[in-house]
Structure 1
Amino acid sequence: MNGDAENTARKQGQFQISCFYVGQALCGIDISYVQEINKQVHFTAVPHSPEYVVGIMNLRGKIVTIIDLGKKLGIDSCTDITDQTRIIIVSSRREFIGLLVDKVTDVVLADWEDVSPPPANIRGVNGRFFQGVYKPGNRLVAILDVEEVLGDE
C-alpha cells in the first residue's frame, strides 16, 4: 500500500463529493480539491504534450494545464465539446490543473466510513485512480484520487 492509499484509509468524517460524468462513468472528487468549475472551454493546444493534455488556458493570470480526464483514465475522450462540457479546476501540488469532463451533476454529502475500497477496475479503468466508491441512493460514484491521476506516470 503506498503512502497516498494509507492516508486515504485513515480518512474519517463527512466530506462533500463534486459529481461529474466522464463518458458513461459517474465520478466524483472530494470538494476540498476543487477550486472552481469553469464552463469556459477555450484553450490553446500544446505541441509535443502527452495525448491526454488538450491544452492550456489563462485563468485570471495563471496558466492552467487542461487534461482530458477520459483520455487520462483510458476511457471515453471528452473531445466532443458540448454545452454541458466543463473544466473542473483542481489544486494539486501547489498548481492548478483543469480536468475536462463531459457533464457536472451535483454535490453529495458522504462519510468516509461509507466509502468502499475501489475494485481492481471501474468500468475498465485501473482502480489505482480512485480512492473508493460511494453509493448515494441508486447511483455508484467512483471517487477520483486527484493526486494519483495527476501524478507522474
Structure 2
Amino acid sequence: MTMGLPHGLDGTVEGREYLTFRIAQEEYGIDILKVREIRRYEAPTRIARTPAFIKGVVNLRGTIVPIVDLRMKLHQDCRPVYSEFTVVVILNLLDRVVGIVVDSVSDVLRLSDEQISDVPEFEGAIEVDSIEGLGTVGDRMLILLDIEKLMSNVDMGLVAADA
C-alpha cells in the first residue's frame, strides 16, 4: 500500500494515475490510461497545409501517427528547441493513435481527489474545458489536461469531437 493516500474498504489505493511531463517551466499531467508508449523524438515527415503545431507523421509499426508539438499548441508563440530529453508520448485517444512532443517526462503520480483542485477562471492559450484540474504534490503544481478534449479541439482536426 502507498503511504499517505486514502485507501478503499477493499484495501485498494484510491485516486488516479497521471503521467507527468514538462513543457518549458510548467508541469502537466495526463491520464496514464491514455498513454501507449514513450519514444525519443525523431523528426516526423511534414505534411503540407497543416498547422505549425502538427509536426507531421511517423510510421509506428505500420500505423501512421500524427505528431503534435504540445509546446507549440499550448504556447502559441513558442519556438521549440529539441534536445536529448525531448520525447514523444504516443496516446490512444478515441480510437486514434496520436503522438505529442514534450520537453521531458517526469514520472507517474497517483493523485487522490483531495490533491486535485478545480480550475480557476482565467483567459489563456488553453481552453479551460481542456483542463481537468490542478494537482498538488508537495510543492509541485500540476496542470492536469483532459488530453482527449484538447486533441478533439476544432483546430486540431486529429480526433473527431463527436466520438
TM range (shorter): 0.7 to 0.9
Segments of 5+ residues of structure 1 without an aligned counterpart are 1-12
SS in 2 for 1:135: strand
| Alignment-derived partner of residue 42 in structure 1 | 43
Letter in 1 for 2:137: P
Task: Name whichever of 119-128 and 18-27 sits farther off.
Answer: 119-128
Counterpart contact for 1:18–1:30, Cα < 8 Å: yes
Counterpart contact for 2:90–2:100, Cα < 8 Å: yes
Matched, 1:142 2:143: yes
- Equivalent-residue separation in structure 1 for 2:142 and 2:58 (angstroms): 28
User: 1:97-149: CA deviations, max 9, x gaps?
Assistant: 00100111111111234311122348764422211011011100111111111
| Alignment-derived partner of residue 96 in structure 2 | 95
Give me the TM-score of the superposition, normalised by structure 2. Answer: 0.79
Letter in 1 for 2:53: Y
Distance verdict in 2 for CA 1:122–1:81, change over 3 Å: farther
Number of residues of Structure 1 aligned to a counterpart in Structure 2: 141
User: 1:25-75: CA deviations, max 9, x gaps?
Assistant: 100111011111111423111110122101100111101000011221235
The CA deviation at 1:24 is 1.3
Letter in 2 for 1:69: L
User: RMSD between aligned alpha carbons?
Assistant: 1.9
Higher relative contact order (CA 8 A, sep 6+): 1
| Alignment-derived partner of residue 110 in structure 1 | 111
Matched, 1:55 2:25: no
Distance verdict in 2 for CA 1:20–1:66, change over 3 Å: same
Task: Name whichever of 100-109 and 118-127 sits farther off.
Answer: 118-127
| Alignment-derived partner of residue 18 in structure 1 | 19
Counterpart contact for 1:22–1:70, Cα < 8 Å: yes
Counterpart contact for 2:20–2:107, Cα < 8 Å: yes
Segments of 5+ residues of structure 2 without an aligned counterpart are 1-13, 155-163
Give me the TM-score of the superposition, normalised by structure 1. Answer: 0.83
Counterpart contact for 2:57–2:65, Cα < 8 Å: yes
Letter in 2 for 1:97: V
The CA deviation at 1:16 is 0.9
Counterpart contact for 2:41–2:101, Cα < 8 Å: no
User: Percent identical across equivalent pairs?
Assistant: 29
